[in-house]
């Protein structure tokens, strides 16, 4: 399968650095042979990774299908909110503590709202008229606001309505990235605002579902290109050796949206009997090299090996820095791939170009999936 090198998980020693590979050469102390590590089945690791990769992609496809189907159900979700609102409004009329209180709803016609339903409570008592907005208010804050005004019983009934409206509003905000606009589906008529809103949501959900299909197809095209570029990157490295750079997809084993992106890894060990390549993420190698350089500089200034405490003090005084996940000329030199600088950077440039659109779409799918899960929880 393209883009899948035969790589196992990173290995480190107790300090976070890469473990030194074992060998069968004589050591410096007395010529005693160092025992070779137990053989590792290369086929097992390769097939295991392929199996996980396929499962991750299948999970992603199932999530996409669920999101598409969920958008087709937005109309039913909106109708449930309308039914709940009607029940709550009746309770306000029959509850003595809530006399004078009414719920007000509004769906503003502006691009920024994209069909969001605004809810507020209005209370008229003893010549006073107070209106409090409830849209976007968290449950704890809403309870604290409503309880003194309408009592605990009515507040308990209103809270689920507020939560469901907020959840749908947040989903509509995410969906505003898609081509259709909610305002395109408003139908003129004499029906109540809530019923008109629910009907528009139904039509909007159908259009949004089609738009989501198109964005998913676009994403999958880029995903195929990204895997192809990963395969070419690995293919162009020829024979893999110690310090070679590999490219692989990062698998989120429990992630509903499948592979999380591309990661470059540095080979730190090759098991001779099996050919399995043990690698560390590029960022961890950069951190390890930075620490090693600090250690050498401190050792040169002290004239002796620094203590762990001295090393920690030096590292603590360093300006905090983040290590990029991308290959640099310095890293290529460290990996003794100087003759491949042009090819490595050229292929990385293509991978980065794919990743820009790929990551943007995946982030959108992640937000939409989270909103879907949130709404489904509110309905149960």
Q: Among 177, 212, 232, where does a domain finish?
A: 177
Supply the pLDDT for residue 46. Answer: 56
Supply the pLDDT for residue 32. Answer: 39
Range of the domain at 297: 41-63+220-374
Dihedral through CA 13, CA 16, CA 18, CA 19, nearest 10?
-10
Q: Are 235 and 215 in contact (CB under 8 A)?
A: no
Q: What residues pair up with 280 in beta bridges, in sequence order?
A: 266
Q: Among 112, 145, 177, where does a domain finish?
A: 177
47 and 82 assigned to the same domain: no
Residue 5: pLDDT over 90: no
Which string of DSSP letters, residue by residue, matches 128-154? EEEEEE-TT--HHHHHHHHHHHH-HHH
Percent of the chain with pLDDT over 70: 86
- Confidence band for 380, pLDDT divided at 50, 70 and 90: low
Name residues whose C-beta falls within 8 Å of residue 277's C-beta, 6 or more positions apart in sequence.
Answer: 5, 6, 7, 8, 240, 244, 246, 267, 269, 270
- Confidence band for 252, pLDDT divided at 50, 70 and 90: confident
Report yes or no on 68 lying in a domain.
no
Q: Are 218 and 232 in contact (CB under 8 A)?
A: no
Report the predicted TM-score, pTM, of the whole model to 2 decimal places. 0.80
For the residues 4-21, what does the mean pLDDT come to?
Answer: 42
257 secondary structure, DSSP code: T
Report yes or no on 191 lying in a domain.
no
- Confidence band for 237, pLDDT divided at 50, 70 and 90: confident
Percent of the chain with pLDDT over 90: 52
Q: Among 177, 209, 231, where does a domain finish?
A: 177
90 and 159 assigned to the same domain: yes
357 and 233 assigned to the same domain: yes
78 and 157 assigned to the same domain: yes
Report yes or no on 301 lying in a domain.
yes
**What's the domain count of the chain?**
2
For the residues 25-44, what does the mean pLDDT come to?
Answer: 40
53 and 160 assigned to the same domain: no
Report yes or no on 187 lying in a domain.
no
344 and 244 assigned to the same domain: yes
Q: Are 12 and 18 in contact (CB under 8 A)?
A: yes
Report yes or no on 249 lying in a domain.
yes
How confident is the prediction for the chain on average, in pLDDT? 84
249 and 343 assigned to the same domain: yes
Residue 349: pLDDT over 70: yes
For the residues 344-367, what does the mean pLDDT come to?
Answer: 96
138 and 83 assigned to the same domain: yes
The helix (H) or strand (E) run that includes residue 125 is strand 118-125
Supply the pLDDT for residue 40. Answer: 37
Supply the pLDDT for residue 305. Answer: 85
242 and 351 assigned to the same domain: yes
Report yes or no on 36 lying in a domain.
no
Residue 190: pLDDT over 70: no
Report yes or no on 202 lying in a domain.
no
Q: Are 63 and 369 in contact (CB under 8 A)?
A: yes
341 and 232 assigned to the same domain: yes
228 and 370 assigned to the same domain: yes
pLDDT in tens, 38-91: 343 333 335 777 888 899 999 999 999 999 999 999 999 999 999 999 999 999
Phi-psi region of 336 (alpha: psi -120 to 50; beta: other; left: phi over 0): left
370 and 224 assigned to the same domain: yes
Name residues whose C-beta falls within 8 Å of residue 352's C-beta, 6 or more positions apart in sequence.
Answer: 326
Q: Which residue has the tokens 């390769």?
A: 46
Report yes or no on 135 lying in a domain.
yes
């Amino acid at each position: 399968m393209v883009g899948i090198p035969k790589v196992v998980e990173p290995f480190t020693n107790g300090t976070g650095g890469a473990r030194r590979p074992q060998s069968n050469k004589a050591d410096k102390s007395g010529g005693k042979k160092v025992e070779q590590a137990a053989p590792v089945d290369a086929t097992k690791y390769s097939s295991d990774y392929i199996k996980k990769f396929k499962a991750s992609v299948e999970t992603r496809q199932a999530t996409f299908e669920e999101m598409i189907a969920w958008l087709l159900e937005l109309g039913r979700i909106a109708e449930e909110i309308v039914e709940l609102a009607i029940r709550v409004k009746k309770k306000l009329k029959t509850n003595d503590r809530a006399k004078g209180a009414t719920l007000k709803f509004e769906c503003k016609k502006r691009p920024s709202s994209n069909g969001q339903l605004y809810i507020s409570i209005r209370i008229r008592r003893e010549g006073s008229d107070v209106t409090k907005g409830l849209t976007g208010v968290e449950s704890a804050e809403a309870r604290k606001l409503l309880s003194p005004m309408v009592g605990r019983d009515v507040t308990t009934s209103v809270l689920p309505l507020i939560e469901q409206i907020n959840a749908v509003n947040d989903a509509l905000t995410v969906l505003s990235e898609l081509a259709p606009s909610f305002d395109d589906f408003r139908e003129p008529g004499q029906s109540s605002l809530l019923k008109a809103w629910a009907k528009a949501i139904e039509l909007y959900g159908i259009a949004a579902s089609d738009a989501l299909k198109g964005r998913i197809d676009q994403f999958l095209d880029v995903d195929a290109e990204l895997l192809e570029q990963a395969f070419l990157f690995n293919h162009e490295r020829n024979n893999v050796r110690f310090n070679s750079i590999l490219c692989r997809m990062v698998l989120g084993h429990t992630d509903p949206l499948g592979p999380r992106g591309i990661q470059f890894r540095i080979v730190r060990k090759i098991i001779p009997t099996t050919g399995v390549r043990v690698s560390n993420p590029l960022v961890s190698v950069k951190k390890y090299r930075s620490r090693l350089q600090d250690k050498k500089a401190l050792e040169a200034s002290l004239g002796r090996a620094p203590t762990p405490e001295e090393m920690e003090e030096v590292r603590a005084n360093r300006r905090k820095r983040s290590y990029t996940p991308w290959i640099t000329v310095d890293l290529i030199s460290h990996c003794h791939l100087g003759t491949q600088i042009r090819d490595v950077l050229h292929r990385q440039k293509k991978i980065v170009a794919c990743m820009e659109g790929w990551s943007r779409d995946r982030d959108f799918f992640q937000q939409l999936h989270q909103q879907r899960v949130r709404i489904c929880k509110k309905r149960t």
